[in-house]
C-alpha cells in the first residue's frame, strides 16, 4: 500500500487538472450532505408544515409558492415530507451501514487472524452469501422477521456485511504479514497489543471509505424496501414510501414521485462523491 501511495500522490495534481470541476463537485456534495444532516437533525427549522397534517381540500396541488414541491393525495406538503424524510432515511442508512461494518469487522478479523480453518470456514460462508444478491438477502430476512423499520435496518445491514467482511479480511491478512507486524511479534508484544496498535489501525483506513460509499447504497436499499411496503409503516414521511404512494398518480401528479426520488438520488450521490474523495485522500496519504 505504501509503495503505491507514493506513486499516486504524484498523479494527483494531474488528475485535478484533468477534472477541474472535481473539487467543486466535492464541495457541493459536502454542502448537500451537511444540508441533509441538518434536515435530519432539525427538520422543523426547514419545513413550513407538519408532514403528517392532512388537508383533503388541498390534495394534488402542483408545486406553487405555498407548496414548493406540491401536495400529495391527502393534501400533505411534499416539501415538508421530503425534509422530514431525511431523518428516517439517513438513520436507516447509517444504522444499517454500522451493523454491516460491525459484523464484517468481526468476521473479517476472525478470518484474517483466526488460522487456516476458521478462514476457510468463514470464506465459504461468505461465498454462499455472495451467491445471493444483497437485496434478495434483505427480502429473505424481512420475510422471516416481518416488515418494519428495525427489521429493514438489520436486513440491509446483514446483506451488506459479506462484501465488507471480505475486504477487511484481505486487509488484515495483508497487514498481518507486513514487516512491521512481524517486528512487533518478534519484540514480544502481546497479541492484543499487536492487533490494537498495529493491525487494526492499518487495516481499517479503507473501511471508513467503504462505509461512506456504502451509506449511499444503504439509503437506496432502505428506500427500496419502503417502496415495496416493507419498511416504515404509514403515515411515516419516508422517501421510499412517498415514491411508492406517488407512482399511482404518476400520470397526473408527477411531483409526488419526482421530489422524494430526487432526495434519494441526492443522498446517494453525495455519499458516493464524498466516499470517492476520501478514497483518493486515503490512497495518497
Partner 1 sequence: MSFPFRTPARGVPAAAGAVAAVVLLAGCSGGGGSSDNGGEPVSGGNLVYATGDAEPTCLDPHVGGNYPQALISSQYLEPLVSRNSDGETIPWLASSWEQSEDGLSWTFTLREGVKFTDGTPLDAEAVKANIEHAQDPATASSTGYLALRKIKSAEAVDTQTLKLTLSSPDSALLESLSMPWVAIQSPKALERSQEENCAAPVGTGPFVVDKWVKQESVTMVRNEDYSAPPAEGWHAGPAYLDSITWRFIPESATRYAALQAGEVQVIDNAQPDTVKAAEGSDVIKHLDAPRPGASNRLELNSSKAPFDDPKVREAFVRSVNVNDGVSTLFFGTAKRSYSPLSSVEPLAYSDQSLFGYDLEEANRLLDEAGWTARDSAGYRVKDGKRLTLQFPVSTNQSIPAEQSLFEQFQATAKEAGFEVKLNLLDLSSWYGALAENNYNLVSAPYTKVGPDVLRILFHSDSTKPAPSGYFANLSQVKSDELDELLTKASETSEPAERERLYEEAQKIVLEGYYILPLYDQQNHFLYRSEVSGVKALPTVSTPTFHDAWLTN
Interface ranges with partner 1 (CB under 8 A): 52-54, 56-57, 59-60, 73-75, 147, 224, 227-229, 233-235, 245, 247-252, 257
Question: Closest separation between CB of residue 84 and partner 1, Å?
Answer: 14
CA distance 221 to 154: 12
Shortest reach from residue 33's CB to partner 1, in Å: 26
Of how many residues is the chain composed?
A: 285
Q: How far is the CB of 225 from partner 1 (least distance, A)?
A: 9
Of 121 and 229, the one with the shorter C-beta distance to partner 1 is 229
Least CB distance from residue 51 to partner 1, whole Å? 11
Cβ contact 166:126 at 8 Å: yes
Q: Please state the closest distance from residue 140 (CB atom) to partner 1, in A.
A: 13
- The b/e string for 152-173 (b: 16+ C-beta within 10 A; e otherwise) is bbbbbbbbbbbbbbbbbbebbb
Q: What's the DSSP call for residue 233?
A: P
CA distance 178 to 187: 14
Task: Report the residue number, 16 or 53, with the smaller CB distance to partner 1.
Answer: 53
Round to whole Å and give the CA distance between 71 and 32.
24
CB closer to partner 1 out of 136 and 183: 136
203 vs 238, which CB is nearer to partner 1? 238
Question: How many angstroms separate the CA atoms of 23 and 96, rounded?
Answer: 29
Taking the least distance from each CB to partner 1, the nearer of 26 and 58 is 58
Q: How far is the CB of 32 from partner 1 (least distance, A)?
A: 25
C-alpha to C-alpha distance for 223 and 238, rounded to whole angstroms? 8
- Minimum distance of partner 1 from residue 75's CB (angstroms): 8
Phi, psi dihedral angles at 188 (to 5 degrees): 85, 25
User: Closer to partner 1 at the Cβ: 175 or 245?
Assistant: 245
Question: Based on CB atoms, which residue is closest to partner 1, 108 or 147?
Answer: 147
CA dist., res. 85 & res. 262, Å (int): 12
Q: How far is CA 241 from CA 50, 81, 148, 237, 245, in A?
A: 17, 11, 12, 7, 6
Closest CA to 266 of 96, 86, 23: 86
Nearer to partner 1, 73 or 119 (CB): 73
Residue 60 gets which letter from DSSP?
T
Shortest Cβ distance from residue 205 to partner 1 (Å)?
36
Between vectors from CA 106 to CA 100 and to CA 109, what angle results, nearest 5°? 125
Amino acid at each position: 500500500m505504501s509503495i503505491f501511495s507514493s506513486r499516486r500522490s504524484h498523479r494527483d495534481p494531474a488528475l485535478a487538472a484533468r477534472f477541474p470541476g472535481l473539487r467543486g463537485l466535492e464541495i457541493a456534495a459536502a454542502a448537500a450532505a451537511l444540508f441533509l444532516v441538518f434536515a435530519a437533525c432539525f427538520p422543523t427549522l426547514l419545513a413550513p408544515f407538519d408532514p403528517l397534517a392532512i388537508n383533503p381540500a388541498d390534495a394534488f396541488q402542483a408545486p406553487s409558492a405555498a407548496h414548493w414541491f406540491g401536495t400529495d393525495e391527502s393534501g400533505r406538503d411534499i416539501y415538508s415530507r421530503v425534509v422530514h424524510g431525511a431523518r428516517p432515511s439517513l438513520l436507516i442508512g447509517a444504522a444499517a451501514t454500522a451493523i454491516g461494518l460491525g459484523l464484517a469487522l468481526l468476521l473479517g478479523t476472525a478470518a484474517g487472524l483466526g488460522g487456516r480453518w476458521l478462514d476457510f470456514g468463514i470464506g465459504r460462508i461468505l461465498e454462499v452469501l455472495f451467491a445471493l444478491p444483497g437485496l434478495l438477502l434483505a427480502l429473505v430476512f424481512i420475510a422471516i422477521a416481518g416488515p418494519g423499520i428495525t427489521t429493514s435496518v438489520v436486513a440491509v445491514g446483514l446483506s451488506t456485511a459479506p462484501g465488507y467482511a471480505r475486504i477487511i479480511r484481505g486487509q488484515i491478512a495483508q497487514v498481518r504479514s507486513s514487516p512491521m507486524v512481524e517486528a512487533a511479534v518478534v519484540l514480544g508484544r502481546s497479541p492484543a497489543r499487536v492487533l490494537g496498535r498495529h493491525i487494526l489501525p492499518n487495516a481499517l483506513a479503507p473501511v471508513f471509505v467503504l462505509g461512506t460509499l456504502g451509506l449511499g447504497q444503504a439509503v437506496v436499499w432502505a428506500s427500496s424496501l419502503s417502496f415495496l411496503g416493507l419498511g416504515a409503516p404509514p403515515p411515516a414521511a419516508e422517501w421510499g414510501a412517498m415514491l411508492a404512494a406517488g407512482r399511482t398518480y404518476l400520470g397526473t401528479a408527477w411531483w409526488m414521485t419526482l421530489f422524494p426520488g430526487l432526495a434519494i438520488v441526492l443522498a446517494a450521490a453525495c455519499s458516493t462523491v464524498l466516499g470517492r474523495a476520501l478514497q483518493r485522500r486515503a490512497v495518497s496519504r
